[in-house]
Homo-oligomer: A and B are copies of this chain.
Protein backbone atom coordinates (compact mmCIF):
# COMPACT_ATOMS: atom_id res chain seq x y z
CA UNK A 1 0.00 0.00 0.00
CA UNK A 2 1.28 3.44 -0.83
CA UNK A 3 -0.80 5.34 1.69
CA UNK A 4 1.26 7.57 3.98
CA UNK A 5 1.81 6.00 7.40
CA UNK A 6 -0.53 6.85 10.26
CA UNK A 7 1.04 9.44 12.50
CA UNK A 8 -1.36 10.93 14.99
CA UNK A 9 -4.50 9.76 16.72
CA UNK A 10 -7.37 11.27 18.66
CA UNK A 11 -9.33 9.32 21.26
CA UNK A 12 -12.94 10.16 22.11
CA UNK A 13 -14.66 8.46 25.06
CA UNK A 14 -18.45 8.65 25.04
CA UNK A 15 -20.60 8.43 28.16
CA UNK A 16 -22.21 10.95 30.50
CA UNK A 17 -21.08 8.95 33.52
CA UNK A 18 -17.48 9.96 32.72
CA UNK A 19 -18.46 13.62 33.13
CA UNK A 20 -19.48 13.15 36.77
CA UNK A 21 -17.18 13.84 39.73
CA UNK A 22 -16.50 10.14 40.30
CA UNK A 23 -15.62 8.45 37.00
CA UNK A 24 -12.69 8.77 34.65
CA UNK A 25 -12.10 7.38 31.20
CA UNK A 26 -9.30 4.89 31.75
CA UNK A 27 -9.65 3.05 28.41
CA UNK A 28 -7.51 5.75 26.84
CA UNK A 29 -4.44 4.58 28.80
CA UNK A 30 -4.60 1.13 27.24
CA UNK A 31 -5.35 2.57 23.81
CA UNK A 32 -2.41 4.96 24.12
CA UNK A 33 -0.13 2.11 25.11
CA UNK A 34 -1.15 0.04 22.08
CA UNK A 35 -0.88 2.97 19.63
CA UNK A 36 2.47 4.14 21.07
CA UNK A 37 3.69 0.58 20.55
CA UNK A 38 3.05 1.11 16.84
CA UNK A 39 4.80 4.49 16.88
CA UNK A 40 1.49 6.38 16.67
CA UNK A 41 1.22 9.39 18.98
CA UNK A 42 -2.00 10.29 20.75
CA UNK A 43 -2.49 14.02 20.10
CA UNK A 44 -5.62 14.56 22.16
CA UNK A 45 -8.24 12.82 24.21
CA UNK A 46 -11.80 13.95 24.76
CA UNK A 47 -14.66 12.78 26.92
CA UNK A 48 -18.17 13.71 25.81
CA UNK A 49 -21.55 12.82 27.26
CA UNK A 50 -24.36 10.96 25.58
CA UNK A 51 -25.10 14.06 23.54
CA UNK A 52 -25.51 14.08 19.78
CA UNK A 53 -24.31 17.64 19.13
CA UNK A 54 -21.30 17.44 21.43
CA UNK A 55 -20.13 14.12 20.02
CA UNK A 56 -20.60 15.39 16.46
CA UNK A 57 -18.53 18.50 17.18
CA UNK A 58 -15.66 16.52 18.71
CA UNK A 59 -15.76 13.93 15.94
CA UNK A 60 -15.54 16.68 13.32
CA UNK A 61 -12.63 18.32 15.11
CA UNK A 62 -10.73 15.05 15.46
CA UNK A 63 -11.27 14.10 11.80
CA UNK A 64 -10.09 17.53 10.68
CA UNK A 65 -6.73 17.14 12.44
CA UNK A 66 -5.80 13.46 12.82
CA UNK A 67 -5.65 10.42 10.58
CA UNK A 68 -6.86 7.95 13.20
CA UNK A 69 -9.87 8.55 15.47
CA UNK A 70 -10.77 5.98 18.09
CA UNK A 71 -14.16 6.31 19.74
CA UNK A 72 -15.01 4.17 22.77
CA UNK A 73 -18.44 3.68 24.31
CA UNK A 74 -21.96 4.54 23.30
CA UNK A 75 -22.41 1.24 21.41
CA UNK A 76 -24.77 -0.27 23.98
CA UNK A 77 -28.39 -1.20 23.39
CA UNK A 78 -30.03 1.75 25.11
CA UNK A 79 -31.52 5.04 23.95
CA UNK A 80 -28.57 7.03 25.19
CA UNK A 81 -26.07 4.98 23.18
CA UNK A 82 -25.60 7.30 20.22
CA UNK A 83 -22.17 6.60 18.76
CA UNK A 84 -23.29 4.48 15.78
CA UNK A 85 -25.96 6.99 14.78
CA UNK A 86 -23.81 10.08 15.23
CA UNK A 87 -20.91 8.70 13.22
CA UNK A 88 -23.22 7.49 10.44
CA UNK A 89 -25.03 10.84 10.32
CA UNK A 90 -21.79 12.84 10.32
CA UNK A 91 -20.45 10.78 7.40
CA UNK A 92 -23.85 10.74 5.61
CA UNK A 93 -24.03 6.93 5.75
CA UNK A 94 -27.34 5.06 6.16
CA UNK A 95 -27.58 2.46 8.96
CA UNK A 96 -28.41 -1.10 7.90
CA UNK A 97 -29.30 -4.01 10.14
CA UNK A 98 -26.61 -6.69 9.84
CA UNK A 99 -28.13 -10.17 9.93
CA UNK A 100 -24.89 -11.85 11.06
CA UNK A 101 -24.37 -9.41 13.88
CA UNK A 102 -27.96 -9.86 15.00
CA UNK A 103 -27.57 -13.65 14.98
CA UNK A 104 -24.37 -13.40 17.04
CA UNK A 105 -26.11 -11.26 19.66
CA UNK A 106 -29.05 -13.67 19.81
CA UNK A 107 -26.66 -16.63 20.21
CA UNK A 108 -24.88 -14.87 23.06
CA UNK A 109 -28.11 -14.44 24.99
CA UNK A 110 -29.25 -17.98 24.19
CA UNK A 111 -26.02 -19.44 25.58
CA UNK A 112 -26.82 -17.89 28.91
CA UNK A 113 -30.39 -19.15 28.75
CA UNK A 114 -32.07 -15.85 27.86
CA UNK A 115 -34.01 -14.43 24.93
CA UNK A 116 -32.49 -11.33 23.43
CA UNK A 117 -34.29 -8.24 24.77
CA UNK A 118 -35.79 -6.16 21.95
CA UNK A 119 -33.53 -3.19 22.75
CA UNK A 120 -30.41 -5.15 21.78
CA UNK A 121 -31.55 -5.15 18.14
CA UNK A 122 -30.05 -1.66 17.85
CA UNK A 123 -26.58 -3.14 18.31
CA UNK A 124 -26.89 -4.87 14.93
CA UNK A 125 -27.13 -1.51 13.10
CA UNK A 126 -24.08 -0.93 10.90
CA UNK A 127 -23.23 2.26 8.95
CA UNK A 128 -23.10 1.30 5.28
CA UNK A 129 -19.54 0.46 4.21
CA UNK A 130 -18.27 -0.10 7.75
CA UNK A 131 -16.53 -3.34 8.62
CA UNK A 132 -17.78 -5.21 11.66
CA UNK A 133 -15.27 -6.10 14.39
CA UNK A 134 -16.63 -9.15 16.23
CA UNK A 135 -17.00 -8.89 20.01
CA UNK A 136 -16.28 -12.16 21.79
CA UNK A 137 -16.84 -10.67 25.22
CA UNK A 138 -20.09 -8.78 24.84
CA UNK A 139 -22.97 -7.94 22.54
CA UNK A 140 -21.76 -4.69 20.95
CA UNK A 141 -19.61 -5.29 17.86
CA UNK A 142 -16.91 -2.76 17.01
CA UNK A 143 -16.87 -0.92 13.70
CA UNK A 144 -14.08 0.14 11.33
CA UNK A 145 -14.65 2.93 8.82
CA UNK A 146 -12.37 4.66 6.34
CA UNK A 147 -13.25 8.03 4.94
CA UNK A 148 -11.15 10.54 3.02
CA UNK A 149 -7.88 8.89 4.05
CA UNK A 150 -8.89 8.84 7.71
CA UNK A 151 -9.69 5.84 9.85
CA UNK A 152 -12.47 5.81 12.43
CA UNK A 153 -12.63 2.91 14.86
CA UNK A 154 -15.64 2.47 17.14
CA UNK A 155 -15.02 0.25 20.16
CA UNK A 156 -17.30 -0.81 23.01
CA UNK A 157 -16.75 0.94 26.35
CA UNK A 158 -16.29 -2.01 28.75
CA UNK A 159 -12.53 -2.63 28.99
CA UNK A 160 -12.78 -6.42 28.71
CA UNK A 161 -14.63 -6.01 25.40
CA UNK A 162 -12.55 -3.10 24.11
CA UNK A 163 -9.08 -4.46 24.88
CA UNK A 164 -9.05 -7.74 22.92
CA UNK A 165 -10.75 -5.99 20.00
CA UNK A 166 -8.14 -3.23 19.90
CA UNK A 167 -5.27 -5.72 20.24
CA UNK A 168 -6.56 -7.60 17.23
CA UNK A 169 -6.98 -4.56 14.97
CA UNK A 170 -3.61 -3.21 16.13
CA UNK A 171 -1.95 -6.37 14.86
CA UNK A 172 -4.02 -6.97 11.76
CA UNK A 173 -5.00 -3.52 10.53
CA UNK A 174 -3.05 -0.73 12.22
CA UNK A 175 0.47 -2.19 12.27
CA UNK A 176 0.66 -2.44 8.45
CA UNK A 177 -0.40 1.23 8.22
CA UNK A 178 1.99 2.55 10.86
CA UNK A 179 5.48 3.81 9.98
CA UNK A 180 8.74 2.00 10.77
CA UNK A 181 9.34 3.43 14.25
CA UNK A 182 8.13 1.46 17.20
CA UNK A 183 8.11 2.32 20.86
CA UNK A 184 9.84 -0.38 22.90
CA UNK A 185 9.15 -0.62 26.62
CA UNK A 186 10.30 -2.24 29.82
CA UNK A 187 8.48 -2.23 33.12
CA UNK A 188 10.49 -2.76 36.31
CA UNK A 189 8.45 -3.44 39.44
CA UNK A 190 10.06 -2.62 42.79
CA UNK A 191 8.82 -3.52 46.28
CA UNK A 192 9.74 -2.34 49.76
CA UNK A 193 10.97 1.12 48.79
CA UNK A 194 9.33 4.54 48.81
CA UNK A 195 8.96 6.50 45.59
CA UNK A 196 11.40 9.18 46.77
CA UNK A 197 14.02 6.59 47.63
CA UNK A 198 13.69 4.95 44.21
CA UNK A 199 13.92 8.41 42.62
CA UNK A 200 17.02 9.24 44.68
CA UNK A 201 18.74 6.01 43.69
CA UNK A 202 17.79 5.94 40.02
CA UNK A 203 17.58 9.58 38.88
CA UNK A 204 21.39 9.96 38.58
CA UNK A 205 21.29 6.89 36.33
CA UNK A 206 18.28 7.47 34.09
CA UNK A 207 18.78 11.21 33.62
CA UNK A 208 21.64 10.48 31.20
CA UNK A 209 19.59 8.04 29.11
CA UNK A 210 17.78 10.74 27.13
CA UNK A 211 21.09 11.63 25.43
CA UNK A 212 21.65 8.08 24.16
CA UNK A 213 20.83 6.56 20.78
CA UNK A 214 18.06 5.59 20.88
CA UNK A 215 17.06 7.89 23.76
CA UNK A 216 15.30 6.24 26.68
CA UNK A 217 12.48 8.01 28.51
CA UNK A 218 11.79 7.05 32.13
CA UNK A 219 8.65 7.48 34.23
CA UNK A 220 8.36 6.59 37.91
CA UNK A 221 4.90 5.57 39.03
CA UNK A 222 3.73 4.61 42.48
CA UNK A 223 0.99 2.03 42.99
CA UNK A 224 0.17 0.97 46.55
CA UNK A 225 3.05 -1.13 47.85
CA UNK A 226 5.00 -1.08 44.59
CA UNK A 227 7.00 1.39 42.56
CA UNK A 228 7.03 1.06 38.78
CA UNK A 229 9.82 2.27 36.52
CA UNK A 230 8.57 2.61 32.96
CA UNK A 231 11.33 2.76 30.35
CA UNK A 232 10.63 3.47 26.69
CA UNK A 233 12.83 3.80 23.60
CA UNK A 234 11.62 4.78 20.11
CA UNK A 235 13.50 2.98 17.40
CA UNK A 236 12.98 1.55 13.94
CA UNK A 237 15.35 -1.30 14.80
CA UNK A 238 13.77 -3.73 17.26
CA UNK A 239 17.10 -5.35 18.21
CA UNK A 240 18.69 -1.97 18.86
CA UNK A 241 15.75 -0.83 20.97
CA UNK A 242 15.77 -4.07 22.97
CA UNK A 243 19.55 -3.94 23.54
CA UNK A 244 19.36 -0.34 24.76
CA UNK A 245 16.59 -1.22 27.20
CA UNK A 246 18.38 -4.34 28.43
CA UNK A 247 21.45 -2.26 29.21
CA UNK A 248 19.31 0.29 31.04
CA UNK A 249 17.57 -2.41 33.09
CA UNK A 250 20.95 -3.82 34.10
CA UNK A 251 22.00 -0.40 35.43
CA UNK A 252 18.88 -0.24 37.62
CA UNK A 253 19.49 -3.81 38.71
CA UNK A 254 22.88 -2.81 40.05
CA UNK A 255 21.37 -0.37 42.56
CA UNK A 256 18.01 -1.99 43.37
CA UNK A 257 18.67 -5.72 42.83
CA UNK A 258 16.93 -7.43 45.77
CA UNK A 259 14.04 -4.96 45.68
CA UNK A 260 13.22 -5.70 42.06
CA UNK A 261 10.14 -7.89 41.77
CA UNK A 262 10.23 -8.23 38.01
CA UNK A 263 11.93 -6.80 34.94
CA UNK A 264 9.40 -8.10 32.43
CA UNK A 265 6.14 -6.64 33.63
CA UNK A 266 5.05 -9.71 35.58
CA UNK A 267 2.96 -8.91 38.66
CA UNK A 268 4.20 -9.74 42.15
CA UNK A 269 1.54 -12.47 42.34
CA UNK A 270 2.80 -14.03 39.11
CA UNK A 271 6.43 -13.88 40.26
CA UNK A 272 5.62 -15.59 43.57
CA UNK A 273 3.52 -18.16 41.72
CA UNK A 274 6.30 -18.88 39.22
CA UNK A 275 8.85 -19.26 42.04
CA UNK A 276 6.58 -21.69 43.91
CA UNK A 277 5.65 -23.74 40.85
CA UNK A 278 9.24 -23.83 39.64
CA UNK A 279 10.33 -25.47 42.89
CA UNK A 280 7.24 -27.60 43.38
CA UNK A 281 6.35 -25.81 46.60
CA UNK A 282 2.90 -25.13 48.04
CA UNK A 283 1.71 -22.30 50.25
CA UNK A 284 -1.02 -21.57 52.80
CA UNK A 285 -1.94 -18.22 54.31
CA UNK A 286 -3.41 -17.07 57.62
CA UNK A 287 -4.74 -13.53 57.48
CA UNK A 288 -6.31 -11.26 60.01
CA UNK A 289 -6.37 -7.53 59.16
CA UNK A 290 -6.12 -8.17 55.43
CA UNK A 291 -9.34 -10.21 55.50
CA UNK A 292 -8.18 -12.58 52.76
CA UNK A 293 -6.67 -10.00 50.43
CA UNK A 294 -3.26 -11.71 50.17
CA UNK A 295 -4.92 -15.05 49.33
CA UNK A 296 -7.26 -13.34 46.89
CA UNK A 297 -4.37 -11.67 45.09
CA UNK A 298 -2.34 -14.85 44.96
CA UNK A 299 -5.32 -16.73 43.49
CA UNK A 300 -5.96 -13.98 40.93
CA UNK A 301 -3.39 -15.83 38.84
CA UNK A 302 -4.75 -18.61 36.57
CA UNK A 303 -3.46 -22.01 37.65
CA UNK A 304 -2.73 -20.86 41.20
CA UNK A 305 -4.49 -23.98 42.51
CA UNK A 306 -1.18 -25.71 41.67
CA UNK A 307 0.48 -24.04 44.65
CA UNK A 308 -2.16 -22.37 46.86
CA UNK A 309 -3.48 -25.03 49.22
CA UNK A 310 -5.66 -22.92 51.49
CA UNK A 311 -6.15 -19.63 53.25
CA UNK A 312 -7.77 -18.88 56.57
CA UNK A 313 -9.15 -15.50 57.53
CA UNK A 314 -8.94 -15.51 61.31
CA UNK A 315 -10.79 -12.30 61.96
CA UNK A 316 -11.77 -13.11 65.55
CA UNK A 317 -9.42 -14.26 68.31
CA UNK A 318 -11.59 -17.38 68.62
CA UNK A 319 -10.88 -18.19 65.00
CA UNK A 320 -7.15 -17.73 65.60
CA UNK A 321 -7.29 -20.29 68.37
CA UNK A 322 -9.81 -22.61 66.73
CA UNK A 323 -8.36 -22.74 63.20
CA UNK A 324 -4.69 -22.25 64.05
CA UNK A 325 -4.29 -23.22 67.67
CA UNK A 326 -2.81 -19.84 68.56
CA UNK A 327 -2.80 -20.04 72.39
CA UNK A 328 -5.07 -17.49 74.05
CA UNK A 329 -2.29 -16.66 76.51
CA UNK A 330 0.16 -15.90 73.67
CA UNK A 331 -2.40 -13.37 72.39
CA UNK A 332 -2.92 -12.07 75.95
CA UNK A 333 0.83 -11.70 76.52
CA UNK A 334 1.91 -10.11 73.22
CA UNK A 335 -1.38 -8.79 71.80
CA UNK A 336 -3.12 -10.07 68.67
CA UNK A 337 -0.95 -7.69 66.65
CA UNK A 338 2.54 -8.95 67.47
CA UNK A 339 5.41 -10.73 65.76
CA UNK A 340 4.87 -13.67 68.10
CA UNK A 341 1.28 -14.14 66.97
CA UNK A 342 2.12 -13.56 63.29
CA UNK A 343 4.87 -16.18 63.51
CA UNK A 344 2.58 -18.66 65.25
CA UNK A 345 -0.11 -18.07 62.58
CA UNK A 346 2.41 -18.69 59.80
CA UNK A 347 3.79 -21.85 61.39
CA UNK A 348 0.37 -23.25 62.28
CA UNK A 349 -1.21 -22.74 58.86
CA UNK A 350 1.88 -24.28 57.26
CA UNK A 351 1.77 -27.35 59.49
CA UNK A 352 -2.00 -27.85 59.39
CA UNK A 353 -2.13 -27.49 55.59
CA UNK A 354 0.91 -29.76 55.20
CA UNK A 355 2.62 -27.32 52.85
CA UNK A 356 6.09 -25.81 52.47
CA UNK A 357 5.40 -22.13 53.12
CA UNK A 358 3.11 -20.52 55.65
CA UNK A 359 2.23 -16.84 55.87
CA UNK A 360 0.77 -15.00 58.85
CA UNK A 361 -0.57 -11.42 58.76
CA UNK A 362 -1.98 -9.53 61.74
CA UNK A 363 -2.32 -5.80 62.11
CA UNK A 364 -4.44 -2.72 62.61
CA UNK A 365 -5.99 -1.56 59.35
CA UNK A 366 -8.03 1.17 61.00
CA UNK A 367 -9.74 3.50 61.20
CA UNK A 368 -10.36 2.19 64.75
CA UNK A 369 -8.25 -0.08 66.95
CA UNK A 370 -5.03 1.92 67.11
CA UNK A 371 -3.11 2.86 70.26
CA UNK A 372 -0.06 5.00 71.06
CA UNK A 373 2.05 1.87 71.16
CA UNK A 374 0.50 0.25 68.07
CA UNK A 375 -1.04 2.95 65.91
CA UNK A 376 -3.26 2.29 62.91
CA UNK A 377 -1.00 0.95 60.17
CA UNK A 378 1.02 -1.31 62.47
CA UNK A 379 1.14 -4.73 60.83
CA UNK A 380 3.14 -7.87 61.74
CA UNK A 381 3.89 -10.31 58.94
CA UNK A 382 5.62 -13.67 59.20
CA UNK A 383 6.78 -16.23 56.67
CA UNK A 384 7.42 -19.79 57.87
CA UNK A 385 9.56 -22.01 55.64
CA UNK A 386 9.86 -23.85 57.97
CA UNK A 387 11.35 -21.46 60.57
CA UNK A 388 9.21 -18.37 61.00
CA UNK A 389 10.66 -14.92 60.41
CA UNK A 390 8.40 -12.09 61.48
CA UNK A 391 8.65 -8.35 60.96
CA UNK A 392 6.68 -5.33 62.06
CA UNK A 393 5.73 -2.62 59.59
CA UNK A 394 4.09 0.73 59.94
CA UNK A 395 2.13 1.47 56.79
CA UNK A 396 0.76 4.91 55.92
CA UNK A 397 -2.71 5.77 54.67
CA UNK A 398 -6.28 4.70 55.16
CA UNK A 399 -7.76 1.25 55.75
CA UNK A 400 -7.74 0.27 52.09
CA UNK A 401 -4.14 1.36 51.69
CA UNK A 402 -2.92 -0.36 54.85
CA UNK A 403 -4.59 -3.61 53.74
CA UNK A 404 -3.06 -3.35 50.28
CA UNK A 405 0.42 -2.54 51.62
CA UNK A 406 0.10 -5.51 54.00
CA UNK A 407 -0.92 -8.03 51.34
CA UNK A 408 1.71 -6.82 48.88
CA UNK A 409 4.44 -6.83 51.53
CA UNK A 410 3.51 -10.34 52.67
CA UNK A 411 3.78 -11.64 49.12
CA UNK A 412 7.03 -9.75 48.67
CA UNK A 413 8.44 -11.34 51.84
CA UNK A 414 7.62 -14.73 50.32
CA UNK A 415 9.40 -13.68 47.11
CA UNK A 416 12.50 -12.54 49.00
CA UNK A 417 12.53 -15.72 51.05
CA UNK A 418 12.28 -17.86 47.92
CA UNK A 419 14.95 -15.80 46.17
CA UNK A 420 17.05 -15.84 49.35
CA UNK A 421 17.37 -12.09 48.89
CA UNK A 422 15.91 -10.67 52.05
CA UNK A 423 16.61 -7.03 52.74
CA UNK A 424 15.11 -4.34 54.85
CA UNK A 425 13.30 -2.08 52.43
CA UNK A 426 11.98 1.26 53.60
CA UNK A 427 8.82 0.00 55.26
CA UNK A 428 10.14 -1.80 58.31
CA UNK A 429 9.46 -0.05 61.58
CA UNK A 430 12.90 1.02 62.77
CA UNK A 431 12.83 -0.35 66.33
CA UNK A 432 11.49 -3.72 65.20
CA UNK A 433 13.41 -6.92 65.67
CA UNK A 434 14.04 -9.01 62.61
CA UNK A 435 13.04 -12.40 63.96
CA UNK A 436 9.77 -13.13 65.69
CA UNK A 437 9.23 -15.60 68.45
CA UNK A 438 6.21 -17.86 68.47
User: What residues of chain A have their CB less than 8 Å away from a CB belonging to chain B?
Assistant: 16-24, 26, 28-30, 32-33, 36, 41-51, 53-54, 57-58, 61, 64-65, 76-80, 112-114, 117-120, 137, 158, 160, 194-197, 199-200, 203, 207, 217, 219-222, 228, 230, 285, 287, 290-293, 295-296, 298-300, 302-305, 308-316, 318-319, 322-323, 352-354, 366-368, 394, 396-401, 403, 426, 429-431
How many monomers of this protein are in the complex? 2
A219 lies within 8 A of B315 (CB): no
B22 touches A219 (CB 8 A): yes
Q: Which residues of B contact A290 (CB under 8 A)?
A: 296
Given contacts A65-B54, A291-B299, A44 and B46 within 8 Å (CB-CB): yes
Closest 5 CB pairs of A and B: A291-B299, A292-B292, A311-B313, A21-B33, A310-B319
Contact A119 B199 (CB under 8 A): yes
Contact pick for A313, options B303, B312, B396, CB 8 Å: B312
Residue of B48, B199, B298, B353 near A319 (CB, 8 A) is B353
Is there an interface contact between B310 and A291, defined as CB atoms closer than 8 Å?
no
Q: Cβ of A292 and Cβ of B311 under 8 Å apart?
A: yes
Nearest CB to that of A298 among chain B residues? B291
In the bound complex, residues from chain B placing their C-beta under 8 Å from that of A303 are 368
- Take A79-B207, A309-B319 as given contacts and tell me if A45 and B47 are in contact as well, using a CB distance cutoff of 8 Å: yes
Choice from B76, B299, B314 contacting A292 with Cβ under 8 Å: B299
A-B contact pairs, 11 of them (CB 8 A): A16-B217, A19-B41, A46-B58, A50-B219, A57-B65, A80-B219, A114-B194, A292-B299, A292-B311, A309-B319, A310-B315
Minimal beta-carbon separation of A400 from chain B (angstroms)? 7
Contacts of A311 in B (CB 8 A): 291-292, 311-313, 315
Residues of B near A20 (CB, < 8 A) are 32, 36, 219, 230
Besides the known contacts A117-B199, A160-B401, A302-B399, 4 further A-B residue pairs in the complex with CB atoms under 8 A apart: A19-B44, A57-B64, A58-B61, A113-B429
Which residues on the B side are within 8 Å of A397 (C-beta)? Answer: 137, 160
By a CB distance below 8 angstroms, the chain B residues around A396 are 112, 137
Are A21 and B17 in contact, with the CB atoms below 8 A?
no
A119 surroundings in chain B (CB, below 8 A): 196, 199-200, 203
Q: Decide: A309 near B315, CB < 8 A? Known: A32-B21, A397-B160.
A: yes
Q: Is the CB of B296 within 8 A of A296?
A: yes
Report the minimal beta-carbon distance from A237 to chain B, rounded to whole angstroms. 22
Of B17, B57, B207, B353, the residue contacting A221 (CB under 8 A) is B17
Q: Is the CB of B43 within 8 A of A78?
A: no
The CA-CA distance from A217 to B50 in the complex, in Å, is 11
**What is the chain B residue whose CB lies nearest that of A198?**
B78
